[in-house]
Structure formats: C-alpha cells, structure tokens
C-alpha cells in the first residue's frame, strides 16, 4: 500500500531537524547513533500524526502495510476454525463469571466474529535441515491492541523463526475499540487450542505444548502473558514458555518510567484519535471525556482484571519459563522489571504470595534483559546491533527450552491430560512416523557435518543462560544489563526492596495526569 504523500511531506521537516539536532549533540541519549535517533524521531512523528486520523483509517493502512518476505522464507495462510473460538469463549466465560459488569459489554455477541480468525505459518525453507526439533512459536503482534497485523510483523517473525530454528504461527486477532477485551484473549486462546488439537484437515499433527513458545511484542507481549494466566487458571496444558519484547502489562500506566522516559521513546503521550464511528472517545480534545475511558482496549472498570493487566494478578507463579526484553529508555520499562520480580517471587513478603485460603503457585522462572538506552520494542530497528543481539538471545532462549531431541523415544514426552466442563483434551500421541522423521533429520545433520554448528549454538545458549547458582539451585530470576553493542555489562542486579514496595503501591491506580499534562497533549 502506498504511503500517503502528505505524511511524507509532514515528516520531512522532522527528518531534517533531527539530523541538525544530532550533529549539535542535542540527543535524547548520548548512546544513540544517527540512525537510531532518526528512527525514533520518524516513528514518533508517524504515531503523533496518526492521532489526527480516524482509527478506521489508521487500522486500514497498518493492516495492509508490510515489508516483503525473504525468498528463503515460507508463508502459508490458515484459518482457525470457529469451533476453536467457541471453545475459547466458553473457557473465558467461566473465568470471567461474576465480572460481566466490569467487562462492560456483551462480548459474546460481538458482530466482528462474523469475520474468520485468520493466521499464517512462517518459517525458513531450510528449517528441517538445520534442526531435528519441532519448535513452534505462537506469535501475537503488538500495536496497542487497536492496530497492526500478522503480515505487518512478519519481517520480525521471520528473524525470530530463523534464530530459534522454529516455525511460527501468527494470527490477526480482533482489534479494539471495535472488539474490546476479552476478544483478543479469546482469539489467542482459540489459536492455541487450534495448535494443540487441530481438526483433521489442518495439515499438521497435534503439537505438544512442551514444544510451544508463546511470543509477542508490546500489547502482544501482554497478551502472551494474559494467555499464560488463562491457561493456568483454566487448568489447560501450559506451553513450555513465553518470550516477551517490551510487554504492555499495566494498562493503568501506574509506574514512573511512563513519564520519565518520554524523551527517549517513540510512544506518544497517550493514544487518541479523532472522532469516528468506532471511536468510544468522541472528542479527543476533551480531556475529561478521554479520562472516562483511558484505553481503547478496555473500559476503565476492566483495567484491574488480570487478563487485561497481567501485572495485577495476585500470583504470577506457576507459569512456563518467561524471557523478557526491554529498553532502559522506554516508557514501559518499569512494568517489565516489576513483572519479572513478581513472577519470580524474588521478595515473597512484598508480593503477598502466601495469602490465607488462596492457592499459592511456585515461582516462575524469569530471564530479564534490559538494553541500555533502547526505546520500546527496539527490535524494530533491525539495523541496530542491540536489535540483532536481542533477536539472537531470543532464539537462544527458544532453543534452550525446546532442545534438540535425543535418539531414544523418551524424547517424546507426554503431557498430562485434563478435562473441563467445555472440552476434553489429551496429549498429542508420539507417532512412529515422527520418530522416523527425527531419525532422518539427524542423519541429514550428520551427513552435512552440522553437528559442530549445533555444538557452537549450545555453547552460546549455555553462555547466555545461567541455569544454577553457586549452590547448584535453580535461579528463578536472572537479570542482565546489556549495552548498545549487545555486550553484557552487569548480571543479576536486583531492584532494591524500597523501590519494589513503592512500585507495588502505585499499581492499579491511574497516575496524576493533572501533574503531567504533557501526557494528554495532542
């Protein structure tokens, strides 16, 4: 889709002024090179200009805009059956029982369900030649819950697929404000059910949840964690882990970095758009009306529901292993850091993990990587060394939690079956033809002498991830600070207890926007 010439004309002065500022050393962060400075300025300008367009026009443009795929990448379209979505709806209805008033709308009657839930498989064409493992990434795109598409994020997805030697399945979940919460969660849950129990004509066998990583960026990262909570709370099989880039997990904007990092991020001061049929905020210049619904994704009354703001869950334990990447210069930095501490239960006394009469889960294993000076989802800037390093580390995480299989049949581990009032699932069978495929792939690897390559990859994984502490016990919390070149500067820095308590007290409350009028600026 062609770019609007008016947008190019409007952003040209921004381009020139950014170049001038950079060479005058007027840079938001001294670690930024000119390319990154320009990238952040242009993206901020695009999002800022988008506020003066209707949501419908913004969605239409971003839904079609995407970069072409590499010739080495295979893209196959798919449709998730409505039976999966109906199943997901029943599960969500059970979890949200008694909270219908907070949700705020008749979500089961959403007319947008008339459109099929579309997805696509993305993988490198030589994947089976480079690995004997069947790794599957369920990728959930970002876009503040109201914009973006699977195709738009394909240029990132294909990079992660290659780094993790995996195949990715991504979907076009329903967008807000036409379909607020829980529509997006229902659609992502439907996609997960589709993977672990596909219909006979899906073209693939049921996928072992232990071979699935849920991944997302920004709002997609928040959805990934919401889906993990849904699966845990509903008693469904958990995926082996989740990889989240700059996850948006606090829709209250409670924490300090939302304001303190405004100059080093491209996220604008609040997402608002001009009046349109889809827009619940009819007058985007009316501050009071905007405060009555601060997010397009959910009504104010629903922001405290953990499946909307995962960081507000009473207990973030009992989940698959989580890998989180964020930038020290982004507005959502603090919520990534606090979520990592809370999930790993680094300070149980602060996070009230043992409430009387409430089930307590074991700590979730979390790896947190904070990149110096980087903005929100800096992986978008593929030209930058930090972006390349973050993608490489994400791939290493995926390879680590879904390792290469051994020759014996024990590598096909079974999953415990479960049942619910809505459905009954069982583990995917360990098919003989799969064992044959694994054996064939291993022979191909040997013939091509690629075992040395796999060995070097394993050495990198061992170097990046510290599995045990000095006493041989599991490290549930790992925190690395990485510089702009991708070099690890500091390891396992712990946030002090005073700051953790202060941030915990801030959660679940809208910030003082009168004290920060810049956040409501157009």
Kindly state the greatest CA–CA separation across the chain: 68
Digit-coded pLDDT (tens) for 113-139: 999 999 999 999 999 998 999 999 999
| CA-CA-CA-CA dihedral for 153, 158, 160, 165, to nearest 10 | 150
**Residue 169's pLDDT is what?**
98
Q: How far apart are CA 317 and CA 237, in angstroms?
A: 15
**Residue 422's pLDDT is what?**
41
Digit-coded pLDDT (tens) for 298-315: 999 999 999 999 999 999
Nearest to 179 by CA among 95, 283, 297: 297
Q: How far apart are CA 27 and CA 145, in angstroms?
A: 30
- Number of neighbouring beta carbons within 10 Å of residue 235: 11
Describe the crossing of helices 183-196 and 82-95 by its angle, rounded to 10 degrees: 120
* CATH number for the domain whose boundaries are 5-405+425-520: 3.40.50.1820
**Residue 466's pLDDT is what?**
65
Digit-coded pLDDT (tens) for 441-488: 544 444 444 566 677 777 778 778 866 655 667 789 999 999 999 999
**Residue 518's pLDDT is what?**
73
Exposure b/e, 321-355, CB count within 10 A at least 16 = b = bbbbbbbbbbbbbbbbbbbbbbbbbbbeeebebee
**Per 3-state DSSP, what percentage of the chain is helix, strand, and coil (rounded to 5)?**
40, 15, 45
Mean pLDDT, range 50-55, rounded to an integer: 86
Backbone φ and ψ for 242, nearest 5 degrees, come out as -140, 140
Nearest to 105 by CA among 42, 39, 36, 178: 178
The answer to whether residues 396 and 460 touch, using CB atoms and an 8 Å cutoff, is yes
**Residue 136's pLDDT is what?**
98
Q: What is the 3-state secondary structure (H, E, C) of 9-61?
A: HHHHHHHHHHHHHHHCCCCCCCCCCHHHHHHHHHHHHHHHHHCCCCHHHHHHH
**Residue 150's pLDDT is what?**
95
Q: How far apart are CA 243 and CA 321, in angstroms?
A: 9
Q: In what order do the strands lie in the sheet with 117-124?
A: 73-80, 117-124, 167-171, 136-140, 212-217, 241-245, 321-327, 366-371, 477-482, 488-491
Digit-coded pLDDT (tens) for 337-380: 999 999 999 998 898 767 777 778 999 999 999 999 999 999 99
CA 296 to chain centre: 18
Backbone φ and ψ for 355, nearest 5 degrees, come out as -75, 135
**Residue 260's pLDDT is what?**
94
Exposure b/e, 162-199, CB count within 10 A at least 16 = b = bbbbbbbbbbbbbbbbbbbbbbbbbbbbbbbbbbbbbe
Bridge-based pairing of strands 424-425 and 418-419 is antiparallel
Digit-coded pLDDT (tens) for 188-234: 999 999 999 999 999 999 999 999 999 999 999 999 999 999 999 99
**Residue 474's pLDDT is what?**
78
Mean pLDDT, range 27-56, rounded to an integer: 91
Q: How far apart are CA 456 and CA 67, in angstroms?
A: 32
**Residue 64's pLDDT is what?**
78
Bridge-based pairing of strands 366-371 and 477-482 is parallel
The answer to whether residues 390 and 325 touch, using CB atoms and an 8 Å cutoff, is yes
Q: Of residues 45 and 369, which shows the higher confidence score?
A: 369
pLDDT greater than 70 at residue 439: no
**Residue 515's pLDDT is what?**
79
Q: What is the percent of the chain where pLDDT is above 90?
A: 66
**Residue 7's pLDDT is what?**
61
pLDDT greater than 60 at residue 60: yes
Give one DSSP letter per residue of 321-363, joined into a string.
EEEEEEETTSTTHHHHHHHHHHHHTSSHHHHT---TTS--PPP
Mean pLDDT, range 414-418, rounded to an integer: 40
Write down the mean pLDDT value for the chain.
87
Residues 6+ apart with CB under 8 A from 119: 77, 78, 79, 80, 150, 169, 170, 171, 172, 191
pLDDT greater than 60 at residue 425: no
The answer to whether residues 267 and 47 touch, using CB atoms and an 8 Å cutoff, is yes
* Rg over CA atoms, the chain: 22
Q: How far apart are CA 126 and CA 73, in angstroms?
A: 9
Q: Lowest mean pLDDT of 7-16, 104-113, 161-170, name the range.
A: 7-16
Q: How far apart are CA 351 and CA 345, in angstroms?
A: 7
pLDDT greater than 50 at residue 434: no
Bridge-based pairing of strands 117-124 and 167-171 is antiparallel
| CA-CA-CA-CA dihedral for 304, 306, 257, 507, to nearest 10 | 50
Nearest to 370 by CA among 382, 359, 378: 378
**Residue 495's pLDDT is what?**
86
Digit-coded pLDDT (tens) for 395-408: 999 999 999 988 65
């Amino acid at each position: 889709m062609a770019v609007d010439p008016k947008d190019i004309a409007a952003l040209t002065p921004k381009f020139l002024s950014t170049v001038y500022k950079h060479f005058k050393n007027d840079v938001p962060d001294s670690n930024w090179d000119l390319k990154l400075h320009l990238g952040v300025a242009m993206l901020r300008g695009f999002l800022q200009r988008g506020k003066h367009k209707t949501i419908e026009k913004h969605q239409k443009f971003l839904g079609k805009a995407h970069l072409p795929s590499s010739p080495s990448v295979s893209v196959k379209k798919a449709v998730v059956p409505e039976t999966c979505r109906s199943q997901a709806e029943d599960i969500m209805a059970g979890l949200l029982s008694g909270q219908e008033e907070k949700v705020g709308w008749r979500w089961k009657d959403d007319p947008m369900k008339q459109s099929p839930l579309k997805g696509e498989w993305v993988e490198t064409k030589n994947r089976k030649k480079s690995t004997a493992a069947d790794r599957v990434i369920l990728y959930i795109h970002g876009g503040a819950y109201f914009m973006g598409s699977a195709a738009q994020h394909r240029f990132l997805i294909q990079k992660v697929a290659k780094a993790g030697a995996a195949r990715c399945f991504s979907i076009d979940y329903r967008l807000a404000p036409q379909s607020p919460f829980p529509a997006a969660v229902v659609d992502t849950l439907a996609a997960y059910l589709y993977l672990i129990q596909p219909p006979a004509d899906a073209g693939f066998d049921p996928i072992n949840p232990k071979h699935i990583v849920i991944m997302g960026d920004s709002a997609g990262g928040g959805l990934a964690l919401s889906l993990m909570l849904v699966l845990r709370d509903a008693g469904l099989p958990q995926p082996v882990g989740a990889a989240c880039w700059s996850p948006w997990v606090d829709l209250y904007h409670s924490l300090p970095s939302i304001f303190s990092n405004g100059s080093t991020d491209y996220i604008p001061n609040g997402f608002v758009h001009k009046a349109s049929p889809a827009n619940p905020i009819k007058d985007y210049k009316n501050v009071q009306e905007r405060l009555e619904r601060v997010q397009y994704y959910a009504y104010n009354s629903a922001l405290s529901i953990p499946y909307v703001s995962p960081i507000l869950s009473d207990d973030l334990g009992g989940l698959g292993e989580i890998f989180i990447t964020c930038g020290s210069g982004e507005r959502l930095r603090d919520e990534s850091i606090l979520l990592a501490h809370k999930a790993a239960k680094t300070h149980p006394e602060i996070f009230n993990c043992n409430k009387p009469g409430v089930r307590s889960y074991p700590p979730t294993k979390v790896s947190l990587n904070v990149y110096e000076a980087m903005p929100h989802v800096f992986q978008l800037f593929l030209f930058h060394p930090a972006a390349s390093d973050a993608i490489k580390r994400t791939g290493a995480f995926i390879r680590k939690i879904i390792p290469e299989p051994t020759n014996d049949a024990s590598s096909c581990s079974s999953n415990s079956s479960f049942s619910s009032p809505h459905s009954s699932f069982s583990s995917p069978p360990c098919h003989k033809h799969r064992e044959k495929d694994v054996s064939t792939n291993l022979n191909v690897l040997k013939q091509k002498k690629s075992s040395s390559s796999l060995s070097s990859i394993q050495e990198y994984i061992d170097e990046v991830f510290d599995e045990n502490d000095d006493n041989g016990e599991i490290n549930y919390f790992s925190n690395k600070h990485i510089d702009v070149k991708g070099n690890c500067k500091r390891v396992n820095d712990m946030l002090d207890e005073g700051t953790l308590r202060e941030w915990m007290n801030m959660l679940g409350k809208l910030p003082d926007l009168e004290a920060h009028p810049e956040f409501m600026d157009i």
